[in-house]
Amino acid sequence: MALYKQHNGKYWWFEFVYDGRRYRKSTKTRNRRAAEDIERAFRTALAKGDVGITKRKKIPSLYEAMASFLKWFKVERGAKPATWRRHAAGSKHLLAYFGDVPLDEITPDRVEHYKIHRLETRRTENAKGGRRPGKKKILPATVNTELACLRSLFNFVIKDEVPLRNPIRPNAVKLLPVDNMHNRVLTYDEQARYLAAANPILRDVATLILETGMRPEEVFRIKPENVHLAAGYLFNPHGKTKAARRRIQLTRAAREVLLIGRGITNVDEYLHQPTSSDFANPFFLPHLEEAVSRVLTAVREGARISVFGDYDADGVLASHVLVSVLRRLGACVRIYLPHRDEGYGLSTLKAGLIMQRKGPHSGAKLNVPLKQIRLGDVFEATSGDWIPVDDKALTGLMKKARADADEMEAFEVSKDVGNVKNNSPELLTGVN
């Protein structure tokens, strides 16, 4: 007997360990003898298996428990509607056989009789006047689905500390063995006749299934970002298991289906691995020879070259390639990549910002507040040739240059290329 009062407390408490679990509770009485009776009654209730602190919970009926279970499952497992539909269908047969009995009357022996009853039941078929029993019997997989519903129902009720044992437990009730292997291999003649009769969409789907072994649902869920034609595979990110989420190698026929879906009709040309001979002649671009000559002159003279790039993917890559080539040629190069908030293209403010932060010869050349920078100040600070690699790079700047032409007495604006030419050793290249 372990009765005690808490410090400055009025009521007696009991505390003891039973079956490895510690129980401590107030008796709500000041009388020690009454407290001893309460403690003995509590121990007796535990010994009889009446789980709960003070009161045994009522065993629900099958109807009551099934209604609560299906309602809970639909809300809590909303991401699995197919499972809920299976449970709802299985519940009808369980209720029809067991009736509205308390759950503790559904024993393993009664569940075994239910299995036998269901295996002897014939499946219903559509007929005139409604559905009627057919010739085929219920499959073992169907019975297992119904038993899974009953097992989940008991687990749901037991979770609420109702004194029950699940009848479908190990060493009590076993699920029926199931043979789900139903192999049906198409003949080449059947395959050819189906592809010939199918419409274009079904023909493409069937081709992908035949060539890759994908399930129809997997084919329908293909997304462009998961297709890697150059590497010859696609990735399936869906599936419950790691094996289902897999790389799938693409045959030529499968790649043709995916390419034609993108509007590419010449598959051989698309899949051809490019070589240097496939690249277009870069000097087809207007004025590129003059630009290359000017850059090479700057490299030979040791002039500093500034590259104004862009913040997007192609702009960053183009800037990296250009700077890498120039440095490999021995040029003294610096680069400026604007922030996304600065917008596209080269502006007066950006050009001035470049030179104010990084002067041509490691020193700031503009001692003018950014908001007051004029185009003439920028040109005077840079005093070099402006070569746009992309037509967009200097569009805005050149419009401003033409508007401010009267302020630039020492500079000549080229109308055909849009370059500002001078004999200074500073060269700024725009990359967009």
Q: How confident is the model at residue 96 (pLDDT cuts 50, 70, 90)?
A: very high
pLDDT at 419 over 50: no
pLDDT tens digits along 27-37: 888 898 888 88
Model pLDDT, residue 7? 79
Residue 299 pLDDT more than 60?
A: yes
What is the arithmetic mean of pLDDT over 338-364? 56
Q: Percentage of the chain surpassing pLDDT 70? A: 72
pLDDT bin (cut points 50, 70, 90) of residue 413 is: very low
Mean pLDDT in residue range 82-109? 91
Q: Comparing 213-222, 375-384, 413-422, which segment has the lowest mean pLDDT? A: 413-422
Positive or negative CA dihedral for 362, 367, 370, 376?
A: negative
Distance CA 99, CA 165 (A): 19
Please tell me the least confidently modeled range out of 16-20, 169-173, 236-240: 16-20
Partners of residue 305 on adjacent β-strands: 333, 427
User: What pLDDT was estimated at residue 346?
Assistant: 59
Neighbours of 276 (CB within 10 A): 5
Mean pLDDT, to the nearest integer, of 307-311?
79
Higher pLDDT, 143 or 270: 143
Q: Supply the pLDDT for residue 368.
A: 41
Question: CA separation (Å) from 420 to 289, 378, 395, 416, 429?
Answer: 17, 11, 13, 11, 12
Which DSSP symbol is given to 175? P
In this model, does residue 178 exceed pLDDT 90? no
Angle in degrees, CA 222, 227, 232, rounded to 5: 130
How far apart CA 336 and CA 354 sit, in angstroms, is 7
Predicted confidence band of residue 94 (pLDDT cuts 50, 70, 90): very high
Q: What angle do CA 202, 208, 211 make, to 5 degrees?
A: 135
Name every residue whose Cβ is closer than 8 Å to that of residue 210 and which is 6 or more positions away in sequence: 191
Q: What is the mean pLDDT of the segment spanning 365-394?
A: 48
Take residue 135 and report the two structure tokens written for it: 């010739």
Model confidence over 400-409: pLDDT tens digits?
444 444 343 3
Spatial distance between the Cα atoms of 323 and 386, rounded to a whole number of angstroms: 16
- The pLDDT of residue 67 is 93
Paired tokens of 353: 């910002």
| pLDDT at res. 261 | 66
**Which residues have CB under 8 Å from 398's CB, separation 6+?**
413, 418
370: confidence class by pLDDT, cuts 50, 70, 90: very low
- Between strands 233-236 and 246-249, the pairing is antiparallel
pLDDT over 90 at 91, yes or no: yes
Mean pLDDT score, 30-48: 84
**What pLDDT is stored for residue 347 in this prediction?**
59
69 pLDDT band, cuts 50/70/90, is: very high
Sort 144 into a burial class: Cβ within 10 Å, 0-12 / 13-18 / 19+: middle
Q: Is the pLDDT of residue 395 over 80?
A: no
pLDDT of residue 393: 43
Report the pLDDT averaged over residues 186-195: 90
pLDDT per residue over 137-164, tens digit each? Answer: 888 999 999 999 999 999 999 988 888 8
Tell me what the mean pLDDT of segment 369-382 comes to: 48
pLDDT computed for residue 14 by the predictor: 87
Tokens coding 147: 């038993």
Residues composing the chain: 432
Output the six-digit token pair for 16. Answer: 């003891």
Considering only the C-alpha atoms of the chain, give the largest distance between any 2 of them, rounded to a whole number of Å.
113
Average pLDDT value over all residues in the chain: 76
pLDDT band for 62, please (50, 70, 90 cuts).
Answer: very high
Q: Whose structure tokens read 């003279």?
A: 301
